Amino acid sequence: MLSAEHGRQREELVETLRAQSEECVAAAKETSGFPARLLGDVADATAELATYISSPVVEEALVRFHDSPEARREASKDLTAYLRTAGLEVSDRASFQLRDNNWCAQLVLTVFTDGHQTAIGGHYDSHSGWGTGGCA
């Protein structure tokens, strides 16, 4: 089981991501053209990221990584495939990576809107817990 502090961080991050997604949806309704499409794509990716972070499959994998260097080594080869094998449905725009040095898992969703690329990310560090962006 993850620490109570890391669990609290996870809940706050998921709540924040869902609120940001809703804000993007509302803002998209107030505009049109490229800005509306971009806001809609970012809203979808942000909501999808929140779904992954709140997934029991992801939580179970993180617990396993805390306890098992072997599981971390295996998952560091291809965390996306590892999570799919564990039962997580992963879209083609999602990428999961595990860095096994001090270990950190990052989740990044990349969306393309009219030729423009936007990445939305979050990470779990084994020492400091959940945060936005990628692993340092």
Over residues 32-49, the mean pLDDT reads 96
Of residues 112, 119, 95, the one with CA closest to residue 37: 112
Strands 94-99 and 116-125: unpaired
Over residues 15-38, the mean pLDDT reads 97
Per-residue confidence (pLDDT) for residue 136, from 0 to 100: 73
Number of domains the chain contains: 1
Per-residue confidence (pLDDT) for residue 134, from 0 to 100: 83
∠ CA 27-28-33, rounded to 5°: 135
Per-residue confidence (pLDDT) for residue 70, from 0 to 100: 93
Per-residue confidence (pLDDT) for residue 18, from 0 to 100: 97
**Residue 77 or residue 133, greater confidence:** 77
Contacts by 43-46 with C-beta closer than 8 Å and gap 24+? 44/111, 45/93, 45/109, 45/110, 45/111, 45/118, 45/120, 46/17, 46/18, 46/20, 46/21, 46/120
Full domain range(s) for residue 18: 4-132
pTM for the predicted model, two decimal places: 0.91
Per-residue confidence (pLDDT) for residue 100, from 0 to 100: 74
51-108 pLDDT, tens digit per residue, is 999 999 999 999 999 889 999 999 999 999 999 999 999 999 999 999 876 789 999 9
On the question of pLDDT at 1 being above 80, the answer is no
Per-residue confidence (pLDDT) for residue 40, from 0 to 100: 97
Helices of type H across 56-132? 56-67, 69-77, 79-85
